[in-house]
Amino acid sequence: MKPLFEVKAVDRKFYEKRLRDWLPDKIIDVHTHVWLKQLKGSKTPRMKIRTVSWPSMVADESPVEHLIETYKLMFPGKSVTPLIFAGLAGPKHFDAANDYVSRASRKFGFPALIFSDPRWDASDLEDRIQKGGFLGIKSYLTMAPAYLPTAEIRIFDFFPHHQLEVMNRHGWIVMLHIPRNDRLRDPVNLAQMIEIEERYPDIKLIIAHVGRAYCPEDIGDAFKVLAKTRKMYFDISANTNAEAFRQLLETVGPKRVLFGSDMPILRMRTRRICEKGKYINLVPKGLYGDVSDDNHMREVDVQQAARLTFFMYEELDAFRRAAHAMKLSAGDVEDVFYRNAMRLLKK
């Protein structure tokens, strides 16, 4: 049977030289999307405005079996368990996408989050989580009311207080992808992140992508502000910003950092750079179709392309460099990649 994607010599060399011995044998990936092609549907106009296009170029579907195969191909010698949730789905397929995640969770024994809709009332949300066997919620700025301009969306527009009260009462997980153009340095984001921690102390809050601090310019004084926090976690998914990782570790320590990937997009063959505060994914010419309309994508020549490895490996290597700079022990690394998530996922 043909493998899901090709693992080249450049990938095997990268993994063996930089990652295999550094990574623990057991890994938990707290940030993965699974969906079936027929349950995704086309993007609504609101979704198109509020999202970037490049992630959809990597995979048009992500059944849980593909996720399992990806780990086997990318992590030889390791055992990886994912925390799964749906991808962005249109209104027609929204419930079916969550139902698929619930079925996959039960079939394979993987922990899962429900993709929540802010319009659900408290009892509806509670009922859906309990019936589906979910451990908490994940949502996205696309779920905020349509009349709001993208740049003005706030966290509580898609995680309303009546839902956070439910999450707090049960001590469930909230996976937060923060909105707004300034990302982690945005003062509104920072204030509302801290408000959630202080107002809902029993929520297990995970800030996805280290608050989308993909470039040094995204950081600002965020970690000075976040130094007062004591409970929120941060996952490193889809991020290769070693400086953000270093400041994160310096601020909160290794016990509040989690490995996440954002699969399936971490299968992308790319190296990420930053130019004037904007991240750009360098990719082989033609591999992901026409990328001319996406200013976060740039094709490189054949010689450069031959040196590109997986986004997954680039993320891991950036964190490895930050861990080395902060003198993390092997035990600290195991905390980030396994033990922290084990504690968090306990019911």
Q: Which two tokens stand for residue 108?
A: 């394979």
Looking at residue 126, its pLDDT comes to: 98
Angle at Cα 45 formed by Cα 44 and Cα 49, nearest 5°? 120
Q: Is the dihedral of CA 184, 294, 281, 45 positive or negative?
A: positive
pLDDT tens digits for range 311-338: 999 999 999 999 999 999 999 999 999 9
Contact criterion met (CB below 8 Å) for 199 and 167: no
Pairing of strands 257-258, 233-235: parallel
Contact criterion met (CB below 8 Å) for 211 and 183: yes
Q: Which two tokens stand for residue 65?
A: 């079996």
Question: What is the rounded distance in angstroms from the CA atom of residue 32 to the CA atom of residue 265?
Answer: 9
Looking at residue 44, its pLDDT comes to: 63
pTM for the full predicted model = 0.96
Looking at residue 43, its pLDDT comes to: 62
Q: Which two tokens stand for residue 85?
A: 């949730």
pLDDT tens digits for range 231-252: 999 999 999 999 999 999 999 9
Looking at residue 48, its pLDDT comes to: 64
Question: What is the rounded distance in angstroms from the CA atom of residue 307 to the CA atom of residue 305?
Answer: 5
CB proximity list for 23: less than 8 A, separation 6 or greater: 75, 78, 316, 333, 337
CB proximity list for 142: less than 8 A, separation 6 or greater: 46, 47, 50, 51, 88, 158
Instruction: Break the chain into its structural domains and give their ranges.
Output: 9-269+310-344
DSSP string, 160-182: -HHHHHHHHHHT-EEEE---STT
Contact criterion met (CB below 8 Å) for 322 and 249: yes
Looking at residue 41, its pLDDT comes to: 58
CATH number for region 9-269+310-344: 3.20.20.140
Question: What is the rounded distance in angstroms from the CA atom of residue 12 to the CA atom of residue 285?
Answer: 22
- pLDDT < 70 positions in the chain: 41-49, 347
Q: Which two tokens stand for residue 242?
A: 């070693």
